[in-house]
Amino acid sequence: AQSVTQPDIHITVSEGASLELRCNYSYGATPYLFWYVQSPGQGLQLLLKYFSGDTLVQGIKGFEAEFKRSQSSFNLRKPSVHWSDAAEYFCAVGAYSGNTGKLIFGQGTTLQVKP
């Protein structure tokens, strides 16, 4: 069965420090992978996605993620965190087949940014 694991429920970093949020997935085929961000009281916004090609993908707001097939991981990184990055981050895998399929989310990681 498809699944996504985000090992860190809550992370606190200082503003300006680097960030890495971990994501591991379980999926039998080539995965479509996503990172979404959710600000309080808001819906989910796509940060970046991967489904083929270069395993290092760039997203919005200065985020990037690297797909490592051997580790079944898709970790999200940012070199310098801003206070406005405080939010909840979700990793997801698209269990797609043909023109249908579902998006399965991890439990989320809450990011707190210290001034």
Partner 1 sequence: DAGVIQSPRHEVTEMGQEVTLRCKPISGHNSLFWYRQTMMRGLELLIYFNNNVPIDDSGMPEDRFSAKMPNASFSTLKIQPSEPRDSAVYFCASRATGKGNTEAFFGQGTRLTVV
Contacts with partner 1, residue ranges (CB under 8 A): 32, 34, 36, 42-46, 49, 51, 90, 94, 96, 99-108
Rg (CA), the chain: 14
3 state SS of 50: strand
Between 15 and 96, name the residue whose CB sits nearer to partner 1: 96
Between 13 and 50, name the residue whose CB sits nearer to partner 1: 50
- Measured in whole angstroms, the distance separating CA 31 from the mean position of its chain's CA atoms is 13
The gap between the terminal CA atoms of the chain, to the nearest Å, is: 41
- Kindly state the smallest distance separating residue 37's Cβ from partner 1, in Å: 11
The one-letter amino acid code at 70 reads S
- Kindly state the smallest distance separating residue 107's Cβ from partner 1, in Å: 4
- Kindly state the smallest distance separating residue 53's Cβ from partner 1, in Å: 11
